[in-house]
C-alpha cells in the first residue's frame, strides 16, 4: 500500500529527468571504473551535469579467456541482459579485450543527487566524515561541487520535498 509520502516522493521524482552518457572506461586511475556524465534536469528549472562512476564490479570483460567466462554468465542470465549497455574497447592491443558496463540505475543516481545531509558542514567536517585529505585540492573541489548541487536542489524543491524523497530512497535500500 502506497502512503501519502510515497506518492509525494514519486511525484517529485517524476519531475526529474536523467540522461546518461557513457564517457570512458578508466582503468589507469586508483579507482578503476566506467565514467558516465549524467545530465540532471530538475523540474525544468535547473539543469546541470554530474560525473558518475561505476566501479569495476559493474564492468564485464568480453573477449580473451576472461571474456569467455563472462559470455557464459551473460548467456545463462547471471548477468542480466537488460543492465548492459553497448560494448566499449580498452586499449589492450595484445588481447583485444572488450568491456561492457552496466548503466547506472536511476535510483542510485537519485540517491547521489539527494545525498545532501552534509550541506551545512564545514570542509574539515566533510573530509573527516568521508575520509578525504583536508589538504587536497581534489577534496575541496568535491566539497564545493556537492555544496553547489545542494544549492541547486534547494532552489527547486522545499526541504520537506527533499526529505520526502530521501526517506523514500532510504526505504528502498532496506
Beta bridge partners of 60: 100
Name the grid cell of 106.
Answer: 536511476
Q: Enumerate the H helices of the chain as residue ranges.
A: 4-14, 64-76, 106-113, 123-130, 137-156, 159-173
Unique residue bearing C-alpha cell 580498452 = 90
DSSP 28: S
pTM: 0.68
Angle between helices 137-156 and 159-173 (to 10 degrees): 110
For the stretch 105-122, what's the b/e string if a residue is b when 16 or more beta carbons lie within 10 angstroms of its beta carbon?
A: eeeebbbbbbebeeeebe
What is the per-residue pLDDT for 111? 86
For the stretch 7-36, what's the b/e string if a residue is b when 16 or more beta carbons lie within 10 angstroms of its beta carbon?
A: ebbeebbeebebeeebeebeeeeeeebbbb
CA 115, CA 45: separation in Å to the nearest integer? 20
Domain spans, the chain: 4-173
Q: pLDDT 10s digit of each residue in the chain, 174 long?
A: 445 566 688 899 999 998 888 777 776 666 667 788 889 998 888 888 888 887 766 666 655 555 455 555 555 555 544 445 544 444 443 445 566 677 788 888 888 888 776 456 789 988 888 888 999 998 899 888 888 888 888 888 888 888 899 888 888 865
Amino acid at each position: 500500500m502506497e502512503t501519502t509520502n510515497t506518492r509525494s516522493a514519486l511525484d517529485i521524482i517524476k519531475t526529474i529527468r536523467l540522461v546518461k552518457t557513457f564517457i570512458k572506461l578508466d582503468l589507469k586511475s586508483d579507482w578503476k571504473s566506467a565514467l558516465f556524465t549524467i545530465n540532471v534536469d530538475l523540474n525544468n528549472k535547473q539543469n546541470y551535469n554530474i560525473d558518475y562512476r561505476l566501479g569495476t564490479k559493474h564492468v564485464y570483460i568480453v573477449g580473451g579467456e576472461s571474456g569467455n567466462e563472462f559470455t557464459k554468465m551473460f548467456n545463462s542470465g547471471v548477468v542480466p541482459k537488460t543492465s548492459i549497455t553497448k560494448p566499449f574497447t580498452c586499449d589492450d592491443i595484445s588481447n583485444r579485450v572488450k568491456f561492457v558496463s552496466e548503466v547506472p540505475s536511476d535510483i542510485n543516481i537519485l540517491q547521489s543527487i539527494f545525498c545532501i545531509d552534509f550541506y551545512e558542514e564545514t570542509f574539515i567536517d566533510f573530509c573527516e566524515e568521508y575520509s578525504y585529505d583536508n589538504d587536497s585540492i581534489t577534496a575541496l573541489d568535491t566539497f564545493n561541487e556537492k555544496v553547489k548541487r545542494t544549492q541547486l536542489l534547494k532552489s527547486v524543491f522545499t526541504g520537506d520535498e527533499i526529505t520526502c524523497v530521501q526517506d523514500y530512497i532510504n526505504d528502498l535500500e532496506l
